[in-house]
Structure 1
Amino acid sequence: MVHPEEEEVWRVFVDGASTLAGCGVGVVIISPSGEKIKLAFRIDSRVTNNEAEYEAVLAGIRANREVRASRIILYSDSQLITQQIKGVYEAKDDRMLKYLKLIKAQSKNFVDWSSEQIHWEEDEEADALAKMAVSLSKVSTREILHVSRLILSNEEETLPIPEDSWMTPLIKFIARNEMPED
């Protein structure tokens, strides 16, 4: 459990969705000052629900790395994912082991971090974003950033962020407290 000073903690709510219509990820980041950043990603490849949940965790980690957060608490309604991250449950599937390896490697970028399970009602915004991402091929609003293709993290050994990253608008948002133009 992380016990850093409250004003330094970035809170991250994540959820993944996998349906016959597609797969999506929702991330809600709350900065130490209370600003909300909402992200929705459509995953063009077919993944299981657990893989979508892991993709959401990795998207939350990437986003917080981009905004240079040093202390985060990541919240998910997935008991399996949070307990595997904590080491309480064992990951037996090769794909889940790859996700865990990536998460452990990326968590080293933070001074403090933890993953906590929450009730699904506490994760409604991230859930709604994930479901929205499933149903949309493109979206552009002042409140939601969307990437139509998210490279499956379990097929990568590292999490490269290109110089012209999809996260660049987040850095601008945090720096200037404004969302990018549509």
Structure 2
Amino acid sequence: MKKGIEFEWTPSCEESFKHFKEILATPPVLGKPKVGEPLYLYLAITDEAMAAVLVQEEGKVQQPIYFVSKALQGAELRYSKLEKLALALLISFCRLPQYFQGHQVVMRTDQGICQILQKPDLAGRMMTWAIQLSQYDLQYEPRHVIKAQAMADFLVEVTGDPTETTSIRWMLHVDGATNQTFGGAGIILESPAGVIYEQSIKFEFPISNNQAEYEALLGGLTLAREVGATRLEVCSDSQVVTSQVNGTYQARDSLLQKYLEKVKELSKQFEEVTIQHVPRERNTRADLLSKLASTKPGVGNRSLIQGLIKEPAVTLHLTKINPSWMDPITVFLESSKLPDDKKTTKALRREAAKYATIQGQLFRKGLSQPLLKCLHPDQMDYVLREVHEGCCGHHIGGKALARKLIRAGYYWPSMMKDSKEFVRKCIKCQENDNFHKAPASELSPLTSS
């Protein structure tokens, strides 16, 4: 036209223009979402980047609607994979609010981010993000086929880590800790994709060391079941717990037996559960979490899930407690209640001065010995059998058995008589005792004439 040539609109130009309008009307990459139809969100992360893809399904075809990508910087590079997933979800909501407000969004993922964000005991930035995400009506579905996930993976340039695709076992590290006032448990669950779930549990009840290890194991199995793990490999530095679960050790304590039954019952909900003993050096992270829970609540503990348990998972309940010699003394010391008989009242006051109650348990005081735990008649037979022929017993005599019971910290009024009677009825003592060769009847002396 600059050279003075007259412009002419030919039929071929008209055909090309129509084709150009069709291309502009139907772009080949991104599409316009249909009103009222749900949108599906896919996430992908690496160590340095994150990406999200929003698609809409038309039959069996997924049409891309929009995508978001971001390079992680500064402190974001040190986030755990679970935090990076939550951050990718939050950034998607912040950059694409018009889609999330006008459509029902369904997130498809193979990670347990839904269970973690819905926990009420989150701490730090994860709690803040969970509150921000709660304003949107977001639903979660398990990811069955890849489809648009391949596009999200392409955006973050995933190279394909063979350790994340070949291994299907979840790794669980548990540890329990106790001190004079509190107890705690540390749980670290790692998915095959490398997403790490950290949980710290504090116990608000008296607990022993073995009981804390079992509580940590039960808490770890519960967390693994909530996030959808099927194959689990458990690592614990407690040789007692691992050996009892594997059957190497026998659980003699009635409370530990109930814990063992609870663990086996919970393990049946998985396809495969293996537990192994590891040195404390290989279980340092779980040990730190358990000590953190047993001291005091932390502040800003990253994506740490902090829990609080007020009652043990397993308790021993006595169906019926028979009356015993301790009842009048305990009632007098706790409520100052006395019988009607004056003679009995005077004797009870004199006898109760030798005893004390600590947390509902009766103890006998002494001048030159520590407090002795008073036993109920239903418990005496078990204690006698364990001290006499247990793992540390060597079938001693009745008087020595009674003195050993006192050194062990137990007391009941007839312990000397009961110890002698128990030794007299012990079959092994009767079979291996060194009897004197004495006549069956007493000899009568005769005087010579």
TM-score (norm 2): 0.33
Query: What residue is the counterpart of 1:141 in the other structure?
Result: 301
Decide which of 196, 200, 219 is 1:40's aligned counterpart: 200
Aligned partners of 2:306 and 2:234: how far apart in 1? 20
Give the Cα separation in 2 of the matches to 1:148 and 1:112.
Answer: 28
Distance 2:166 2:262 in 1: 27
Give the number of equivalent residue pairs.
Answer: 152
Aligned sequence identity (%): 32
Cα distance in 1 for residues equivalent to 2:279 and 2:308: 28
Contact 1:139 1:146 in 2 (8 A): no
Q: How far does residue 143 in structure 1 lie from its aligned partner after superposition? A: 2.0
Confirm or deny: 8 A CA contact 1:29 1:37 kept in the other structure.
yes
Distance 1:153 1:122 in 2: 27
Q: State the AA in 2 paired with 1:59.
A: G
Cα distance, 1:145 vs structure 2: 1.0
SS in structure 1 of the partner of residue 285 of structure 2: helix
Helix, strand or coil: the match of 2:167?
Answer: helix
Q: Which residue of 2 aligns with 1:59?
A: 219
- What residue is the counterpart of 2:254 in the other structure? 94
Q: SS at 1:104's partner residue?
A: helix
1:141 alignment partner AA: N
Distance 2:231 2:282 in 1: 21
1:78 to 2:238 alignment: yes
Unaligned runs of 5+ in 1: 157-182
Q: Which segment is superposed worse, 78-87 or 147-156?
A: 147-156
Cα drift, residue 140 of structure 1? 5.2
CA contact (8 A) 2:292 2:298 kept: no
Contact in 2 for aligned 1:17/1:52 (Cα 8 Å): yes
CA spacing shift, 1:117–1:34, aligned 2, 3 Å:
same
Structure 1 partner of 2:170: 10
For the structure 1 residues 110 and 20, does the alpha-carbon distance in structure 2 shift closer, same or farther, using more than 3 Å as the test? same
Label 1:63 to 1:93 Cα distance change in 2 as closer, same or farther (>3 A): same
CA distance in 2, matches of 1:42, 1:98: 21
- The whole-number CA distance in structure 1 between the counterparts of 2:183 and 2:300 is 18
Which of 180, 183, 187 is the matching residue for 1:27? 187
Q: Secondary structure at the match of 2:188?
A: strand
- After TM superposition, the structure 1 = structure 2 runs for residues 141-160 of structure 1, keeping only pairs within 5 Å, are 141-155=301-315
Q: 2:412 matched to which residue of 1?
A: none
* Structure ranking higher on relative contact order (CA contacts 8 Å, 6+ apart): 1
Paired with 1:97 and 1:54, the residues of 2 have a C-alpha distance of 11
Q: Which runs of 4+ in 1 moved over 6 A?
A: none
Contact 1:22 1:135 in 2 (8 A): yes
Alpha-carbon RMSD across the aligned residues, in angstroms, is 1.7
Looking at structure 1, the residues matched to 181 and 284 of structure 2 have their Cα atoms a distance apart, in angstroms, of 20
Deviations 1:123-151 (A, max 9, x none): 00000000000111465533211112253
Give the partner amino acid of 2:167.
Answer: E
Cα deviation, 1:90-136, whole Å, max 9, x if unaligned, reads 00001100100000000001001111100100000000000000111
Between 143-152 and 35-44, report the one with greater CA deviation.
Answer: 143-152
Change (3 A) 1:87 1:147: same
Select the structure of larger CA radius of gyration. Answer: 2
Moved more, 128-137 or 140-149: 140-149
Matched, 1:114 2:274: yes
- Deviations for 1:33-60, whole angstroms, at most 9, x for unmatched residues? 1111110000000100000000010011
Give the partner amino acid of 2:258.
K
Deviation at 1:7, TM superposition (A): 1.9
Cα offset, 1:8, TM superposition: 1.1
Tell me whether 1:104 sits opposite 2:281 in the alignment. no
Give the letter for the 2:189 counterpart. Answer: I
Query: If the length of structure 1 is used for normalisation, what is the TM-score?
Result: 0.79
CA contact (8 A) 1:76 1:115 kept: yes
CA distance in 1, matches of 2:170, 2:242: 18
Alpha carbons of structure 1 residues 86 and 32: separation in structure 2 relative to 1, 3 Å: same
